[in-house]
Amino acid sequence: MLIVENLAVHYARVPAVQGVSLRVEMGETVGLIGPNGAGKTTTLSAITGLIRPSAGSITFEGKSLIGRTPEQIVRQRIALVPEGRHIFGSLTVEENLRLAAFGGRDRAAANDDLSRAVERFPVLKRYYRSTAGKLSGGEQQQLAIGRALITRPRLLLLDEPSLGLAPLVVDQVFDALQELRQQGMTILLVEQNAARTIEFADRTYVLRTGRVALSGTRDELSASGSVMDSYLGI
């Protein structure tokens, strides 16, 4: 579904990503892990059109994403849950969701998607009329994921969904992701929790200093403990 080949991204003259190649097959959950500054978020930003690569190719369902705007990429049904969630804190939960629901779409279908989002995350129904900025970090993360799902993505990209959350809330987020994968959602997951990601994903890529240092299935990477120690310290 998604193929990234020899991706390179520079900030001014500083290389952030150097020759990264990865693939995500339909229905897979693929992890992307590595130390801070390894190029994980930069890779997602290139996929979603937020930054322009210096070199390489990105194709989604056989069509190039290079040169497309973020708005055009969203229309390809690729949704990003960004690091830090980036909800609109001064708006209500309902208003945040409706911003995603009514993007030139049929109103009945949009209302149906909105209803499914609040059913999936009961906390959103509970605080539907409340200001989103008053939600806890975990509740805001559920809102960010629910907002992304309203666009009916074929590919869901998540950037550090567990960042700053309490362990119990992290479990709830991963439970929600597990439900999505069981329903056939294709997911590319960038995560700080390396061990949890390796266990959760079908395959995982390990980035180090902008390059893919290691990749494999959960069984392959779990068996490479000494190698993982050298890259991640886990």
**Contact partners, residue 177, CB within 8 Å, separation at least 6:** 29, 158, 161, 187, 189, 200
CATH architecture of 2-77+154-232: 3-Layer(aba) Sandwich (3.40)
This prediction has a pTM of: 0.89
Question: Cα 197 to the chain's mean position, in Å?
Answer: 12
Tens place of pLDDT per residue across the chain (234 aa): 999 999 999 998 899 999 999 999 999 999 999 988 899 999 999 999 999 999 999 999 999 999 999 999 999 999 999 887 788 989 999 999 988 876 656 677 778 888 888 888 888 989 999 999 999 888 898 899 999 998 889 999 999 998 888 888 888 889 989 999 999 999 999 998 888 999 999 999 999 999 999 999 988 887 766 556 655 555
d(CA 182, CA 12): 42
Ordered by start, the domain boundaries in the chain are: 2-77+154-232, 89-152
Task: Using CB atoms within 10 Å of the CB of residue 121, give its burial: 0 to 12 exposed, 13 to 18 middle, 19+ buried.
Answer: buried
pLDDT of 131 reads 94
Q: At what angle do helices 107-120 and 137-149 cross, to 10 degrees?
A: 150
By the 8 A CB rule, do 180 and 129 touch?
Answer: no
d(CA 35, CA 194): 9
| Side-chain half-sphere CA neighbours of 52 within 13 A | 5
